[in-house]
Amino acid sequence: MHFLSAQLEHYITDHSQPEPEILKKLTRETHLKVIQPRMITGHFQGRVLSMISKIKSPKNILEIGTYTGYSAICLAEGLTSDGHLHTIDINEELNAMQRRYFEESGFGKQITQHTGDALKIIPTLDVTFDLVFIDAEKVSYDLYFEACIKKCRPGSLILSDNVLWSGKVIEPLKPKDKATKTLVDYNRKLMEDIRVETVLLPVRDGLTLSRVV
């Protein structure tokens, strides 16, 4: 889904940081070998995630939904030198590919992969997170958020991806479309929730920044 013209999107990308070679390679391999390559974070959004992480300079990052590791590497770019990123995915088939790229990126030692349902794993992590990236099952976004906020402190930043859901959040709701319904409710909740300050950015498919107060 393109909210802007292709020409403007190219202009924006051309005037943002270039995509690191390793992420180009990871994207190529994802398209060749993995199902649903559309889910991968692309060049522009990847540089946005990297920039947010560098500004925040987090000691601990939590990512929900690793896929092939693109967004994890972008977020890891902002870690403090002693920082650590925990990333969770339910699909163990992706594990080996993620690890190969984490090692090649130079962040291998700073990234821990967790395999399983994020809702079961998050409560077991004894870590306070400065930055969280929510990007797994859309129907579970609110449950992920509630699990994560327990592991945050004032000033922590919770990012939620794909919150515009190709624009479906403003279209008439189809009764069977649970993902859109969840995202509509989730976006309203974040805006009203007094535990966070929220801005929804029209980055790619919608990226919400919620700062814990």
- Sites of contact with ligand SAH (CB under 6 A): 39-41, 64-65, 67, 70-71, 88-91, 117-118, 135-137
Interface with Ca ion by CB under 5 A: which residues? 135, 161-162
Q: How far is CA 49 from the centre of its chain?
A: 8
Distance, CA of 10 to CA of 42 (rounded, Å): 13
Nearer to Ca ion, 113 or 162 (CB): 162
Other beta carbons less than 10 A from residue 51's beta carbon: 15
Nearer to ligand SAH, 27 or 187 (CB): 27
In Å, what is the CA distance from 55 to each residue of 28, 46, 105, 117, 144?
28, 14, 20, 30, 24
Nearer to ligand SAH, 56 or 101 (CB): 101
Q: Name the binder of 67 from Ca ion, ligand SAH, none, CB < 5-8 A by kind.
A: ligand SAH
Residue type, 115: T
Task: Show the tokens assigned to 129.
Answer: 């997170």
Q: Name the binder of 113 from Ca ion, ligand SAH, none, CB < 5-8 A by kind.
A: none
Nearer to Ca ion, 66 or 105 (CB): 66
Q: Name the binder of 90 from Ca ion, ligand SAH, none, CB < 5-8 A by kind.
A: ligand SAH
Contact by Cβ (8 Å): 34, 97: yes
Q: How far is the CB of 84 from ligand SAH (least distance, A)?
A: 17
